[in-house]
Chains A and B, each alone.
Chain A
Amino acid sequence: MDRVGEHSRRAGREGGVTMLRADDYRVVKKELAGLQVNVTTYKIGDAYHCHIDNIDPGATIARTEALTREEAELAALARALERLKPKTR
């Protein structure tokens, strides 16, 4: 999913509060351990954030933070793979 709209205000300070925004917002669908997942990345302040959720039902299974998108994604994918071990009976 691409950014769905642009907001007119700039990040900065408002009423003494530091304002930021999520830049470079991106959602990519992937298959991981046989499951469909969303890999969402964006930058807030100086850090890239990545979180991975299993599309059905949508629970976050990994969340990471790093200086670059690639680092954040790689770390999140590794963490998600570790956690996504299907349990069947």
Chain B
Amino acid sequence: MQSYSNPEVLVSTEWVDLHRGDPNVVIAEVDVDTSAYSEGHIPGAVGWNWQTQLCDTVRRDIINQPDLERLMSNSGIGNDSTVVLYGDNNNWFAAWAFWQLKMYSHNDVRIMNGGRKRWLAEGREVTREMPTRNKSGYKVLKYDQMFRAFRRQVEDEMKSPLTALVDVRSGDEYSGTLLAPPGLPETCQRGGHIPGAKNIPWGLACNEDGTFKSPKELEAIYAGKGITSDKSVIAYCRIGERSSHTWFVLKYLLGYPNVRNYDGSWTEWGNIVAAPVERGA
């Protein structure tokens, strides 16, 4: 059976259950629904709030270096720690955290395949008690934005045959029928997508139980729409979180060499005066 290009970044629920007591393994839960952690979480797991702890809370940006160092240190994560991320909605925001940790060059970051859904469904132990961890004095060794695309880069590259844009939102958001997923705030003035972008909703990468589809299935999904490894791929969604999930799939599971996440995404593009927009499927 064909394996993922970087199988070490994915761990099973069984692996996490076996290693959750290891001193060098730190588990962090990152949920879309920030109240899920307090309902019950993997024993020993810290909880990170994407709305307050994984972003710059003043300007629109990812978490800054001092805050990241503080978060890692307070979580008991050392530079050599193995960080295992998991969360609800098929690891949607776990992937967002993974993307940021990789830009801050943390070496050993992994995602628990199936996320919170699978852990609960398997009846594994959870607790409501918060872990206590010693501060680590974490220091970022290198910050590199090579996995990130900014608006200017998208504008410059969107017409290049060497670049492939992938819009991972739902079909209705892509076509412009909806400005945001039902139940979430509308954050743009116009609906539609960046011209030339292919629509491959992020959730297509997952099985019903929350685990990732097989390499062969993933390859068929992306290559089938022209998102191939020979291209420079830029993924985007509404605010950059769903696309970090697709970025993870393309970069680590399929091993595409050049993949970036445009975290400005539709919330930025759909508000730019005179930006080119396409509508329809």
B window 110-135: CB within 8 A of A: 117-118, 120-129
Q: How large is the interface on A (under 10, 10 to 19, 20 to 34, 35 or more residues)?
A: 35 or more
What 0/1 readout, one digit per residue, does chain B (128-147) give for beta carbons within 8 Å of chain A? 11000000000000000000
- Asked whether A3 lies within 8 Å of B89 as measured between CB atoms, the reply is no
**Contact A51 B33, CB 8 Å, known A7-B124, A57-B170, A57-B181:** yes
Residue of A nearest to B124 (CB): A7
- Asked whether B33 lies within 8 Å of A42 as measured between CB atoms, the reply is no
Residue of B nearest to A88 (CB): B177
- Asked whether B186 lies within 8 Å of A22 as measured between CB atoms, the reply is no
| Residue in A5, A9, A83 whose Cβ sees the most chain B Cβ within 10 Å | A5
- Asked whether A58 lies within 8 Å of B124 as measured between CB atoms, the reply is no
What 0/1 readout, one digit per residue, does chain A (1-29) give for beta carbons within 8 Å of chain B? 10111110101001001111111010100
Spot the interface stretch: B51-59, B201-209, B218-226. Answer: B201-209
B residues near A63, Cβ cutoff 8 Å: 33, 35-36
Please give the residue numbers on chain A whose beta carbons come within 8 Å of chain B beta carbons, in ascending order: 1, 3-7, 9, 11, 14, 17-23, 25, 27, 33, 35, 40, 42, 44-45, 49, 51, 53-61, 63, 65, 80, 83-89
Please give the residue numbers on chain B whose beta carbons come within 8 Å of chain A beta carbons, in ascending order: 17, 32-33, 35-36, 39-40, 43, 88-90, 92, 117-118, 120-129, 169-171, 176-184, 186, 191, 201-203, 208-209, 242
